[in-house]
């Protein structure tokens, strides 16, 4: 199978994202070529370490590194300062110097925390990202955002640090729970709606959750997603204009996720939020006719929700708590047609209308 290499150029760094099947053993040579140094610390959570740490450590040692392993207990509930502190202590114990490298091997939680540890340790050392979950491959490993959660909310403390290289081995997805894989397809669909009609149509005809999916197809889709995120992040590294478009489906999606007390997965919540905003946009005449049904169909094909039965007041309460709220308005990302979105600054009254006509109304426009 051929390997895909996506070039990412940001103002702070240029790097490559390698997407392929069975490429974990390339981590060592790629880190050697892009980061140098003499020592590396591999950071893994307790689920991923027994599965993949040895292969990555062997590859790094084969490339001449002195490589050690730091593990932490898996789970979003551990994405907090105390875990970050133990990772930082681990980097110090491994005696990493300014020229050395952190290698994050795992899902988004690992990438975010190992990335933040690298940004802080000795005021910043290099990080390589080796995403092993679908979400980490298509979203969190590219773009340079790192964070931990605070009591007050998710991802409230963090830093920007671009990786020196990203290595996504889609073979790792074989061990990922099917439910998690399906949930993350919500973000993949979002990327299609946001920027790529061709990717969207591919997902319509060959849903990623189909039992007939091949590693080749998954690698192709991951590489397309990385390129979409790259294009948005390239244009706007520190979240002002264009980067906001990545929030498509997230204003209502976050509200649905939080109101479910995080029982509904993030990708599933985004899928529902995306369908709700698409229905409202269509009814308000903001978007092309038929777009909502088109998006609903691809979400259904991936087993994702397309609506929410939450009370509208509850959705509004959570949606307006969102940290991206500016004064009395919210920047809402609206799908115009497949592959094209628009940022609309809406008042809270307008947002309320979007919720009223978009949420709990599936079937209204058929
Ligand atoms: N930095 C960003 O730009 C960005 C973007 C989106 C999301 N995120 C963050 O990403 C996190 C969610 O990512 P996630 O869904 O990968 O969560 P995660 O890292 O918790 O991984 C989910 C679960 O899958 C397990 N796992 C991962 N890879 C596996 C594999 N190959 N085989 C078996 N098990 C595996 C993990 O141990 C964990 O239990 C959130 O904390 C979110 O805030 C960050
Ligand atoms: Zn998201």
- How large is the greatest C-alpha to C-alpha distance in the chain, in angstroms? 63
At residue 33 the predicted structure's pLDDT band, cuts being 50, 70 and 90, is: very high
Distance 308 CA to ligand 2 centre (A): 17
DSSP string, 180-242: HHHHHHHHHHHHHHHH-HHHHHHHHHS-TTSTT--HHHHHHHHHHHHHHHHHHHHH-TTSSSG
Three-state DSSP class for 272?
helix
Of 175, 208, 238, which residue sits at a domain end? 175
At residue 237 the predicted structure's pLDDT band, cuts being 50, 70 and 90, is: low
Task: List, edge to edge, every strand of the sheet that includes 329-337.
Answer: 325-326, 329-337, 340-347
In this structure, the answer to whether residues 308 and 272 fall within a common structural domain is yes
Note whether 133 and 74 are within 8 A (CB). Answer: no
In this structure, the answer to whether residues 195 and 149 fall within a common structural domain is no
In this structure, the answer to whether residues 17 and 130 fall within a common structural domain is yes
Give the pair of three-digit tokens for residue 221: 């889709």
Q: What does the buried/exposed string (b/e) look like for 255-284 if buried means 16 or more CB atoms within 10 Å of the residue's CB?
A: bbbbbbeeebbbbbbbbbbbbbbbbbbbbe
User: Would 363 be classed as within a structural domain?
Assistant: no
Of 175, 202, 237, which residue sits at a domain end? 175
Please report, for the domain that includes residue 233, its CATH number. Answer: 1.20.1090.10
Is 302 one of the catalytic residues?
no
Ligand 1, atom 21: closest residue by C-alpha: 107
Is 324 one of the catalytic residues?
no
Three-state DSSP class for 46?
coil
Show the ligand 1 pocket: residues with CB < 6 angstroms: 45, 47-48, 51, 74, 76, 79, 106-110, 112, 132-133, 135-136, 139-140, 143, 145, 154-155, 172, 175-176, 180
In this structure, the answer to whether residues 169 and 186 fall within a common structural domain is no
Distance 267 CA to ligand 2 centre (A): 7
User: Would 127 be classed as within a structural domain?
Assistant: yes
Of 175, 208, 230, which residue sits at a domain end? 175
When mean pLDDT is compared across 94-108, 141-155, 300-314, 323-337, the lowest value belongs to: 323-337
In this structure, the answer to whether residues 247 and 98 fall within a common structural domain is no
User: Would 274 be classed as within a structural domain?
Assistant: yes
User: Would 364 be classed as within a structural domain?
Assistant: no
Is residue 44 packed enough to be buried (19+ CB in 10 Å), middle (13-18) or exposed (0-12)? buried
Note whether 9 and 234 are within 8 A (CB). Answer: yes
**How large a percentage of the chain has pLDDT more than 90?**
89
pLDDT in tens, 108-146: 999 999 999 999 999 999 999 999 999 999 999 998 999
In this structure, the answer to whether residues 147 and 188 fall within a common structural domain is no
In this structure, the answer to whether residues 11 and 115 fall within a common structural domain is yes
Note whether 264 and 322 are within 8 A (CB). Answer: no
In this structure, the answer to whether residues 142 and 190 fall within a common structural domain is no
User: Would 203 be classed as within a structural domain?
Assistant: yes
> Among positive and negative, which fits the CA dihedral 224, 227, 229, 235?
negative
At residue 153 the predicted structure's pLDDT band, cuts being 50, 70 and 90, is: confident
Ligand 1, atom 11: closest residue by C-alpha: 108
Ligand 1, atom 30: closest residue by C-alpha: 176
- List the catalytic residue out of 126, 224, 230, 254: 254
In this structure, the answer to whether residues 147 and 225 fall within a common structural domain is no
User: Would 237 be classed as within a structural domain?
Assistant: yes
Distance 124 CA to ligand 1 centre (A): 23
Note whether 362 and 220 are within 8 A (CB). Answer: no
Cβ of 347: how many Cβ atoms within 10 Å? 12
pLDDT in tens, 10-31: 888 899 999 999 999 999 999 9
Is 220 one of the catalytic residues?
no
Give the pair of three-digit tokens for residue 309: 């039965």
Give the pair of three-digit tokens for residue 58: 């062997």
Please report, for the domain that includes residue 103, its CATH number. Answer: 3.40.50.1970
Which of 243, 255, 244 has its CA nearest to residue 351?
255
Q: How many structural domains compose the chain?
A: 2
Mean of per-residue pLDDT scores for the chain: 94
The pLDDT of residue 236 is: 64
User: Would 238 be classed as within a structural domain?
Assistant: yes
In this structure, the answer to whether residues 170 and 186 fall within a common structural domain is no
pLDDT in tens, 57-96: 999 999 999 999 999 999 999 999 999 999 999 999 999 9
User: Would 366 be classed as within a structural domain?
Assistant: no
Which residue range(s) make up the domain with 300?
Answer: 182-358
In this structure, the answer to whether residues 305 and 162 fall within a common structural domain is no
Is 80 one of the catalytic residues?
no
In this structure, the answer to whether residues 156 and 171 fall within a common structural domain is yes
- What is the 3-class SS of 146-176, one letter each residue? EEEEECCEEEEEEEECCCCEEEEEHHHHHHC
Angle, CA of 205, 211 and 214, to the nearest 5°? 75
């Amino acid at each position: 199978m051929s390997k895909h290499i996506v070039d990412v150029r940001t103002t702070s760094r240029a790097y490559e994202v390698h997407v392929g099947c069975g490429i974990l053993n390339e981590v060592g040579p790629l880190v050697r070529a892009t980061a140098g140094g003499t020592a590396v610390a591999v950071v893994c959570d307790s689920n991923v370490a027994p599965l993949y740490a040895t292969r990555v450590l062997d590859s790094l040692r084969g490339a001449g590194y002195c490589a050690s392993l730091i593990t932490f207990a898996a789970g979003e509930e551990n994405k907090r300062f105390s875990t970050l502190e133990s990772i930082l202590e681990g980097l110090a114990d491994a005696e990493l110097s300014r020229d050395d490298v952190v290698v994050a091997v795992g899902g988004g939680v690992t990438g975010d925390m190992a990335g933040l540890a690298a940004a802080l340790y000795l005021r910043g050392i290099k990080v390589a990202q080796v995403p092993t979950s679908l979400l980490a491959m298509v979203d969190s490993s590219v773009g340079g955002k790192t964070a931990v959660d605070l009591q007050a909310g998710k991802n409230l403390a963090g830093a920007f640090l671009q990786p020196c290289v990203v290595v996504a081995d889609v073979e790792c997805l074989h061990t990922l729970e099917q439910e998690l894989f399906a949930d993350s397809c919500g973000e993949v669909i979002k990327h299609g709606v946001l920027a790529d009609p061709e990717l969207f149509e591919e997902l319509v005809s060959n849903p990623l959750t189909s039992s007939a999916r091949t590693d080749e197809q998954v690698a192709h889709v991951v590489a397309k997603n990385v390129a979409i995120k790259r294009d948005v992040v390239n244009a706007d590294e520190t979240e002002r204009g264009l980067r906001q478009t990545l929030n498509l489906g997230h204003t209502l999606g976050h509200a649905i996720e939080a109101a479910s007390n995080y029982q509904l997965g993030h990708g599933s919540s985004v899928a529902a939020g995306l369908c709700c905003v698409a229905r409202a946009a269509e009814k308000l005449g903001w978007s092309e006719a038929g777009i909502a049904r088109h998006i609903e169909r691809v979400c259904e094909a991936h087993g994702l929700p397309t609506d929410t039965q939450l009370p509208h007041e509850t959705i509004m309460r959570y949606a307006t708590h969102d940290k991206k709220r500016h004064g009395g308005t919210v920047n809402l990302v609206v799908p115009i047609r497949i592959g094209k979105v628009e940022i609309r600054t809406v008042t809270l009254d307008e947002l309320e209308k979007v919720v009223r006509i978009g949420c709990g109304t599936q079937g209204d426009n058929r």
